[in-house]
Structure 1
């Protein structure tokens, strides 16, 4: 019996430790996000909208091609400049500041490491190459062909990023996180050459969310025309507001990167649209569904939903329809300042998102047009964009499988 006690004690401690949360899971992390429009101050609002729409359509095509093998391969037409918000953080010891793009539709964390880049792994005392035996070297983006170097290659349509996988200390708003697996890029092609790196927040193994063991993360996006940054919260700071509504948050079993919402209908004014139930269903081949995405500006809906929305919205607006070069449905701007558009409500499972008019109407053509900031999808997939998410505190409860949202003044969080 005396010999069994140490073994029983060891077994007890092993079980106890296995149930403890990840040491990084409770870290309170806050980052400030900057919208890409701040870099385009020298061009008109109309041109900014055109760039945003182009980025969104290219992104939609790339995600669709990745989800379904039965779709036409359109990756060769996709550009990498499809992101919307960037975050400043620090890498290495001593820490070096870098700006990376935030993306809930990607997993990999990577930054440039070639000569002339801000971050140089050889100058950091906390950098180490990732071994071939690491669990982070066992996925579709990584390989170990020479048996000693864990490398990565990540295609983004016509742009690609490649290099070696490493582990390094990252600093998020003053909070240090050691030994994060990341891609140290020494080869970028296409429009990937114009950015410094990416912060993947998807549901896959390599994402920041997964590596931290975070049960939740959240963001609150300030309006496009605001000069204020948008907060991103991880760990204990990512708590839903008391007034939040909640709806199921789904993930594909084949590609866990993307976050899906169950959209059951759309209401314009007081009219619930007659949209077929199949419009937002995920097909057996992996296509379809509605993905909530931080990297897409304007929501894009499959034709079976968008066409019904367009017809009813046009009927209720009561303004002359006008041709626009940017959006699909535009009206002559009202001269009466008291004009009120019809309400637009997204009816998710268990929750209704009643959008403020600033989240679905946008001024165009020098203010002479008022346009619906929702577009038709040319794929079998729909995306819920960040324009519709402005001034909403949105919490991704990844562990619990729920999305919480509530109206908020994001600049004040």
Structure 2
């Protein structure tokens, strides 16, 4: 039986990696809900909805890769309640680039779980609505369709020859686990990378000729704030692979902030990094592993979980196996665990908080309509302090992930939020 444990890196974590000098580019990142003026409870609800959608896509992808009906059947929990629904964007962070000559803007979902870089192109026969104008390959002097005998065309799982005579171009069909797909023409064009919003000379524009999918038929779970997807996986067609860099780093801003951040691929100038990032505290690293059954994904070795000073009693085989089963996924914000592991972590957390969970329709600790699974009612004195603008002292136990070579104590704000305060009279 194959199980996939999805570790969806929390949005407040700035991830960083070393890289070879002299080969880097920088691009601007924005959160999907940045600048929408939404209240905090609504932002949390939307985050939870996106994480559910991402989890469904990931589990379906795993099932597709393993026809065995027992594969990826292990039930998982992520601390998500029953709230959510409605029209909610399903991407998490967008990479802002320009394509073509002259350059035209695109906004691509950053996806460490796939390889292809693609955007919608004119003429669009059946496409989702997008806020930015469609990319028109005919308007770019540097656009070139890739021939179907090109090695990068053969690198795609589903590709064929289109056109007639001597102009036989590479036509691709790229599927995602949730049945979303893009169909179009594989091409090369000039990509323009630039610094974050403040600009300046620290991170000048970089232009690279890259292979990408010019999508003419795109269906599925896509939203108007994106134009396509930037695959950051390990495959030959991913953005890091095409840039020939061995590492990339990103700073993810909180969903409660409207500011943008950046992603760096390879050895960007040191001044650019230092002007946009500030790393504090002890620096530790854990190796990124490979799993032959999912060669494009980035796996970690998660050995155990602690709540406070107590190591959660989880059977070792639930987190560890012959092949790594924990992945980093940029497309969601909620950490997802096998159900029995989640319940053990939840029980240890409840025991140490020292307050009774709220009872609701979703089960012990869940509140009807809430996006999250576990909620507590603060004592009246703490609620009054909060109402008066003072932060109440609540004992929140530390939550630590024990990785290979590193113990990662998560910031409290990454797993505990004050949703609302109600004072009964």
Tell me if both proteins adopt one fold, taking TM over 0.5 as the criterion.
yes
The CA deviation at 1:60 is 3.3
Structure 1, residues 119-152: CA drift from partner, whole Å, max 9, x if none? 1111111111111222111134441245822111
**Within 2, Cα distance between the matches of 1:146 and 1:124?**
21
- Give the corresponding residue for 1:36: 32
Q: Secondary structure at the match of 1:309?
A: helix
Tell me, yes or no, if the aligned pair for 2:43 and 2:255 is still in contact at 8 Å. Answer: no
Greater displacement, 219-228 / 207-216: 219-228
- Give the corresponding residue for 2:316: 277
**Within 2, Cα distance between the matches of 1:333 and 1:129?**
61
Select 1:228's aligned residue among 259, 262, 281. 259
Structure 1, residues 296-350: CA drift from partner, whole Å, max 9, x if none? 1111111232121011011101112013232222211355301130011111011
Q: 1:262 to 1:160 in 2, by over 3 A?
A: same
**Within 1, Cα distance between the matches of 2:214 and 2:333?**
28
Matches within 5 A, 1:12-411: 26-38=22-34, 40-42=36-38, 44-71=42-69, 82-115=90-123, 117-146=133-162, 148-156=168-176, 157-173=178-194, 175-192=205-222, 194=224, 195-237=226-268, 243-282=282-321, 289-322=325-358, 323-324=366-367, 325-334=370-379, 335-336=381-382, 337-364=392-419, 366-367=420-421
More RCO (CA 8 Å, sep 6+): 2
Structure 2 unaligned segments of length 5 or more: list them: 1-19, 73-86, 125-132, 195-203, 359-365, 383-391
Tell me, yes or no, if the aligned pair for 2:110 and 2:232 is still in contact at 8 Å. Answer: yes
Q: 1:49 to 1:255 in 2, by over 3 A?
A: closer
Tell me, yes or no, if the aligned pair for 2:34 and 2:257 is still in contact at 8 Å. Answer: no
**Within 1, Cα distance between the matches of 2:88 and 2:231?**
14
The CA deviation at 1:193 is 6.3
**Within 2, Cα distance between the matches of 1:161 and 1:171?**
23
Structure 1 unaligned segments of length 5 or more: list them: 1-23, 370-413
**Within 2, Cα distance between the matches of 1:30 and 1:86?**
13
Q: Secondary structure at the match of 1:202?
A: coil
- Structure with more helix by fraction: 1
Q: Secondary structure at the match of 1:250?
A: coil
Tell me, yes or no, if the aligned pair for 1:25 and 1:215 is still in contact at 8 Å. Answer: no
Tell me, yes or no, if the aligned pair for 1:170 and 1:180 is still in contact at 8 Å. Answer: yes
- Structure with more strand by fraction: 1
- Give the corresponding residue for 1:388: none
What is the TM-score with the length of structure 2 in the denominator?
A: 0.72
**Within 1, Cα distance between the matches of 2:345 and 2:351?**
10
**Within 2, Cα distance between the matches of 1:213 and 1:207?**
10
**Within 2, Cα distance between the matches of 1:346 and 1:260?**
14
Greater displacement, 145-154 / 82-91: 145-154
**Within 2, Cα distance between the matches of 1:144 and 1:35?**
36
**Within 2, Cα distance between the matches of 1:80 and 1:149?**
36
Q: 1:49 to 1:197 in 2, by over 3 A?
A: closer
